């Protein structure tokens, strides 16, 4: 039987985290270049670290949830979901009956509906 010691798990975890950050850096730099450029020099690494810390504090355990949370923080600001600036997101995140991955699914659904509403509103204002 294979036994993995806690020290080995720490090494594996660090390597996995490093791989995720490499992917995230590439993804964020190519999809959100303007937002990334607004970060201070060397700021993306610090931003990723803060993002992981916040994601963990919110109960996100899997890489995909960390990645999505960090993307949301880059788009909407580091205080996204934790202040009254986006009360709907704060309400979703404070729902203790839902699991953290469900929180992100609900936030994504809300954002899609909001985008659709704004699209329809813009079309109505232009006579479409």
28: its two tokens = 């964020």
Q: Which of 72, 63, 89, 86 shows the shortest CA–CA distance to 28? A: 72
Could you tell me if 89 and 110 are in contact, meaning their C-beta atoms sit under 8 angstroms apart?
A: yes
pLDDT tens digits, one per residue of 7-23: 755 544 555 678 899 99
pLDDT tens digits, one per residue of 76-127: 999 999 888 999 999 999 999 999 889 999 999 999 998 898 888 887 776 6
Domain boundaries, the chain: 10-125
Output the pTM of the full model. Answer: 0.81
101: its two tokens = 């991955």
């Amino acid at each position: 039987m294979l036994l993995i010691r806690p020290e080995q798990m720490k090494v594996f975890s660090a390597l996995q985290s490093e791989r995720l950050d490499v992917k995230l850096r590439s993804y964020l730099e190519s999809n959100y270049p303007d937002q990334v450029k607004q970060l201070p020099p060397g700021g993306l690494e610090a931003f990723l670290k803060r993002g992981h810390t916040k994601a963990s504090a919110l109960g996100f355990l899997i890489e995909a949830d960390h990645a999505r949370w960090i993307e949301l923080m880059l788009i909407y600001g580091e205080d996204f979901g934790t202040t009254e600036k986006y009360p709907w997101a704060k309400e979703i995140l404070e729902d203790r009956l839902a699991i953290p991955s469900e929180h992100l699914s609900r936030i994504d659904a809300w954002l899609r509906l909001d985008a659709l509403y704004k699209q329809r509103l813009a079309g109505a204002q232009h006579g479409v």
